[in-house]
Amino acid sequence: MTTPLLIQGGLVLSPRVLGVADVLVRDGVIAAVGPGLPVPDGAEVIDASGRIVLPGFVDTHRHMWQGAIRGVLPDTSLHAYLDRVLGRLGPAFRPQDVYAGVLGSALEALDSGVTTVVDWAHGPVSPEHTDANVQALRDAGIRAVYGYRHAGGEASRAGESKRVRDACGDGLVRMAVAALGPDFGDLDLAREEWLTARDLDAMITVHMGGHGQETARAGLAFLDETGLWTPGTMYVHANDYTAEQFQRIADHGGTVAVSPAIETAMGFSPPATGRARAAGIPTGLSADAVTSTGGDMFSLMRAAYFTERARPDGAGLGFTVADALRMATSDGARAAGLGDVTGEIAPGRQADLVLLRTDLPGVAPVHDPVAAVVLYADTRAVDTVLVAGRVVKRDGNLVADVRSALDRLAESAAHVTRTAAPA
């Protein structure tokens, strides 16, 4: 049993507005929400007056290993990214570089109020790289779905995937299968990846539907032909699907991760935000690659909001700030397969919570709290962050050895850039 925690007198968004209320946390779980809750004996009390209390943000697709190469490739294209980041920088990563990058990315996420990430680990992969990645997620104390990609070699896909699944467990870190195919790689490999996920009862997260209409059609045809449609599959960069294809994904229980900043910057088709949501698909937001964009959810909510509302002929003008906030919280949790775990402030959910300051220039005065979060707040407003009831940021400062993490990041950045294959 842990000490009860009472967050008192904040303006609670669940993400819908609940009003000024208290949130009681017991053993990492939200026990009660409401005004004037009694203070349990021995409870820690956090004064949230003048704060907005909301669910922790959920990033549905981020390559966490890239923390040490942040910003190496602005003003880029997908082709250049694949060449430089995956083709030249990635192979230079040692296991300790993966650890440093993931830890740095996780601390960045927590500092900005992102309490859950789907970590798509498509960097250098060996058992040692994998173990370093998982350990960094654990050490950071972030909630994560670790998207594991098997690299081949001596260890069998099924055996190594099971080892990683068991090592992750089902606590703060759990495993998904990060499948390359069918859009990348050969179809026999794709079939093996999807069957492995099915055997392990693991979620699949896959870059699928974002590489042209013909590739999008062929990928779904592959699922038809193999019978591998799998409920809970997350389709990343699903920009090129038609309304009918989105409906098929919805009918098969799929979800979508939208990366509005990366997709617009790298020349994908327009983000699928409104079209995926119109089919009833749980749709979340993602930073994707900090090599070319920032990693905070405030920027992503704004990118999604303005790109959707800018659709031709006013097609996206029905998209609201409330929709953007749901994508960043409750819908993102559903997309990540964690809809019954996080994403809302309600009894029984894990206490993944963020307290935002409202007494800042550019945020105050707050007429509409949802608009304040989506359009006006930024990372400087993130005052306090909890994951599973544990405070990981307090009074604007991370509860972590940030200096050591940044030193690791700097050493890894120097090694990787020095060692990477020349252009």
User: What is the Cβ-side half-sphere exposure of residue 23, based on CA atoms within 13 angstroms?
Assistant: 36
Residue 50 has pLDDT above 90, yes or no: yes
- The sign of the CA dihedral 244, 249, 255, 256 is negative
pLDDT in tens, 207-217: 999 999 999 99
Both tokens of 60, joined, read 């549905």
Q: How many Cβ atoms sit within 10 Å of the Cβ of residue 322?
A: 17
Check: CB of residue 330 under 8 Å from CB of residue 15.
Answer: yes
Q: Is the dihedral of CA 266, 321, 142, 165 positive or negative?
A: negative
Q: What is the pLDDT of residues 56-86, one digit of tens each?
A: 999 999 999 999 999 999 999 999 999 999 9
What tokens does 11 get?
Answer: 């303006």
Best CA proximity match to 299, nearest among 331, 324, 267, 281 = 324
Question: What letter does residue 230 receive in the DSSP assignment?
Answer: -
Q: pLDDT confidence of 155, banded at 50, 70, 90?
A: low
pTM, to two decimals: 0.97
Alpha carbon distance 146, 186 (integer Å): 23
Question: Which domains does the chain carry?
Answer: 5-55+351-398 (2.30.40.10), 57-335 (3.20.20.140)
* Cβ density class 185-214: b for 16+ within 10 Å, e for less: eeeebbbbbbbbbeebebbbbbbbbbbeee
Place of tokens 């790298």: 266
pLDDT band at 124 (very low <50, low <70, confident <90, very high): confident
